[in-house]
């Protein structure tokens, strides 16, 4: 049984983000009517132009402060699903409170709006991240075996000078924990189901607005550092991350919204784990890749143990077939390089 069917109206928060724009496109391609929540008219107008071929099927609403209680009250009363991708993601935060105000309070504010005013909402899909779970090299994780990354929360609360990215990761841990706690507390009065997707390192082309180098996704920027050969050989074989193509992650959000079996579930979304050398090897394996000037791996080189995020549950219930690394990575980096040419130094 399908919970939300094509031609229904869907609200996507943080609609101008890297992943969210692909979610919008996927929804529109599949016949949904989409409402995107953004913080400014300029961001909304960019999306209207980007999706102009879909006409009235796309519209946007302005929500300047997502964390403000009641900010979404008027925007959830005519939709059948909410895909909550909005979050403040930065590696330059100075405190946990700075991000928790949006990532934790904002998530709860949207849920409260849906509970009180989303009469027709049947499914709420929350975008989580692999930073919320414990990665142990050499271990294969499933939804049943994952543990909360309480270590990173402890770091930002008790370490006087943690890495800036830790504030973001901790805020996402607290946000998803708060969301599940909220669901447990309000379950009896909920007309909708809650689903969370634990998404990995995102790779793929970008269609969101890029006005400066800072608008380029940090994921691609860091991979570019790898291509600049700034990683010593011994680090190229160590565990880097799990990953998936942005288009596959977007489709996973749509299927998580639709599939009855997804109700109340967490899903690990992953095409696989990789090291930096795997990135180089993938580029060499793509015959039309313009990026060949990267180090070849040593076939006898010792690979560091990877932490595998097993996505069998997503494949089985959501019906996702993940793209391979080589073509996805090549497209992402070519797209990145083309955009750099159009931006001021």
pLDDT digits (tens, 9 = 90+) for 278-322: 877 777 776 666 665 666 666 556 667 889 999 999 999 999 999
Range 82-97 average pLDDT: 88
Does residue 222 register a pLDDT over 80? no
pLDDT of residue 227: 63
pLDDT in tens, 109-121: 999 999 999 999 9
- Spatial CB neighbours of 244, under 8 Å, sequence gap ≥ 6: 199, 200, 201, 202, 203, 269, 270, 271, 311, 322, 323
Does residue 24 register a pLDDT over 90? yes
Better-predicted residue by pLDDT, 90 or 87: 87
pLDDT of residue 218: 61
pLDDT of residue 165: 87
Range 128-143 average pLDDT: 93
Written as six digits, the tokens of 145 are 């075996």
Biggest alpha carbon–alpha carbon distance for the chain: 60
pLDDT of residue 192: 97
pLDDT of residue 301: 62
Instruction: Supply φ then ψ for residue 128, to 5 degrees.
Output: -100, -170
- Contact (Cβ atoms closer than 8 angstroms) between residue 36 and residue 44: yes
pLDDT in tens, 189-203: 999 999 999 999 999
Range 235-248 average pLDDT: 85
Structure confidence at residue 182 as a pLDDT band (50, 70, 90)? very high
Which of 130-144, 231-245, 263-277 is predicted with the least confidence, judged by mean pLDDT?
231-245
Residue 120, Ramachandran bin (φ over 0: left; ψ between -120 and 50: alpha; else beta): alpha
């Amino acid at each position: 049984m399908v919970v939300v069917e094509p031609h229904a109206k869907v609200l996507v928060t943080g609609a101008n983000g890297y992943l969210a724009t692909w979610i919008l496109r996927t929804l529109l391609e599949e016949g949904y009517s989409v409402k995107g929540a953004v913080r400014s008219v300029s961001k909304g107008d960019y999306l209207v132009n980007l999706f102009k071929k879909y006409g009235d099927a796309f519209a946007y609403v302005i929500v300047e402060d997502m964390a403000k209680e009641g900010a979404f009250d008027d925007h959830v009363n005519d939709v059948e699903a909410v895909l909550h991708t909005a979050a403040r993601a930065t590696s330059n935060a100075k405190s946990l409170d700075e991000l928790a105000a949006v990532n934790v309070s904002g998530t709860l504010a949207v849920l409260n709006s849906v509970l009180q005013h989303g009469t027709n909402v049947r499914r709420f899909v929350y975008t989580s991240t692999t930073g919320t779970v414990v990665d142990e090299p050499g271990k294969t994780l499933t939804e049943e075996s994952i543990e909360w990354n309480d270590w990173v929360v402890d770091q930002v609360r008790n370490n006087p000078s943690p890495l800036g990215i830790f504030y973001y990761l901790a805020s996402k841990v607290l946000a998803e924990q708060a969301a599940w706690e909220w669901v447990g507390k309000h379950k009896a009065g909920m007309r909708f189901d809650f689903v969370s997707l634990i998404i990995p390192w995102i790779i793929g082309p970008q269609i969101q607005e890029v006005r400066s180098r800072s608008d380029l996704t940090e994921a691609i920027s860091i991979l570019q550092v790898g291509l600049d050969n700034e990683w010593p050989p011994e680090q190229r074989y160590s565990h880097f991350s799990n990953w998936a193509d942005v288009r596959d992650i977007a489709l996973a959000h749509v299927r998580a919204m639709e599939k009855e079996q997804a109700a109340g579930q967490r899903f690990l979304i992953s095409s696989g784990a990789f090291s930096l050398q795997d990135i180089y090897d993938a580029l060499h394996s793509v015959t039309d890749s313009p990026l060949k000037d990267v180090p070849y791996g040593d076939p006898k080189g010792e690979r560091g143990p990877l932490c595998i995020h097993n996505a069998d549950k997503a494949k089985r219930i959501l019906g996702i077939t993940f793209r391979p690394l080589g073509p996805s990575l090549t497209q992402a980096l070519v797209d990145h390089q083309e955009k750099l040419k159009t931006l001021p130094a």
